[in-house]
Amino acid sequence: MYADAANVSERQLQPPALAISTVIFALRPSATSGRPTLWLPLVRRIRQPHLGKWALPGGPLAQVESLQDAASRNLRETTGLVPNYLEQLYAFGGLDRAATQRLVSIVYWALVQPDEAALTRESENVKWFRADRLEALAFDHNSIVDYALWRLRSKVEYGSIAYHFLGETFTLAQVREVYEAVLDRHLDPANFRRQLRATPDITPTDDYLQGVRHRPPRLYRYTGAAGTLGAQAQPAQAQPAQAASTSVSTSASTD
């Protein structure tokens, strides 16, 4: 649309191309063990460069939308997903990210609940992959996913984003499974319970999960700050950092 007729010297004068991509995480049962594990959806490249390889969903930034809106819209268009957690990850701008042009990618990361993830418009060119068993992706997308995984792990250790993997109500064991899948280690059920019961943001309901072949566990609900974190909240601002709850409304912010 604009980079096609440019020769090298003209290209020098053009600003770098700007793209938005998103790393989306969801928990799905492992094919083998059945335990929940981290998965992410990728789309197949249908043009050069890297034609045929799998890549993060993404696209150019339209003039009339904010960065987060661009990420949200692109996600919906390419995969059908509407995440309930969406936050900026990092701006990648290395010189040799793309062979044909100077490309700066502003990357977001998102969490979706299992029922949402099940609605993905999967196809020949859109598929879910296990996050820990990725093949070679297009561009530098492998290292971007690694960085997103690192960020996910540190945020989970901090506290209050694990609930975005779960539905409205959940058992404490389900929360523990999220932690175990993300951090990749076993946690003592009794101690984990004690800690969760000590945090004020997670409230017991009067309901119990039915249909299990043992004592029915109580259901809980997350009642912390709106769509996002609790421990270290980001400052109330006009446009920036905020991880908005797009399940309510993409543009409705808390201020």
Contact residues: DNA, CB under 7 A = 171-173, 188-191, 193-195, 197-198, 208, 212-218
Check if the beta carbon of residue 179 is closer than 8 Å to that of residue 141: no
Integer CA distances (angstroms), 248 to 52, 161, 244, 245, in order = 35, 16, 9, 6
Q: Is 9 in the site for a second copy (CB under 8 A)?
A: no
Look at the block and give the residue holding tokens 């040799």: 96
**Distance of closest approach, residue 102 Cβ to DNA, in angstroms:** 46
Instruction: Count the site residues for a second copy by CB under 8 A.
Output: 43
Pattern of binders to a second copy over 151-170, x per CB under 8 A? ---x----------------
Q: Is 136 in the site for a second copy (CB under 8 A)?
A: no
Task: Pick what 197 binds: a second copy, DNA, none; C-beta below 5 to 8 Å, kind-dependent.
Answer: DNA
**Distance of closest approach, residue 5 Cβ to a second copy, in angstroms:** 13
Nearest to 178 by CA among 194, 196, 205: 196
Task: In whole angstroms, give the CA distance from residue 244 to residue 255.
Answer: 11
Pattern of binders to a second copy over 75-94, x per CB under 8 A? -------------x-xxxxx
Angle at 118 between CA 116 and CA 124, to 5 degrees: 125
Identify the residue among 5, 31, 46, 95 touching a second copy (CB under 8 A): 95
Residue spans of beta strands (DSSP E) within 93-178: 103-111, 126-130, 169-170
Check if the beta carbon of residue 92 is closer than 8 Å to that of residue 19: no
**Distance of closest approach, residue 214 Cβ to DNA, in angstroms:** 3
Task: In whole angstroms, give the CA distance from residue 60 to residue 21.
Answer: 9
For binding to a second copy (CB under 8 A), which residues are involved?
Answer: 1-2, 11-18, 60-61, 63-67, 88, 90-95, 97, 102, 104, 106, 140, 143-144, 146-147, 150, 154, 232, 234-235, 237-241
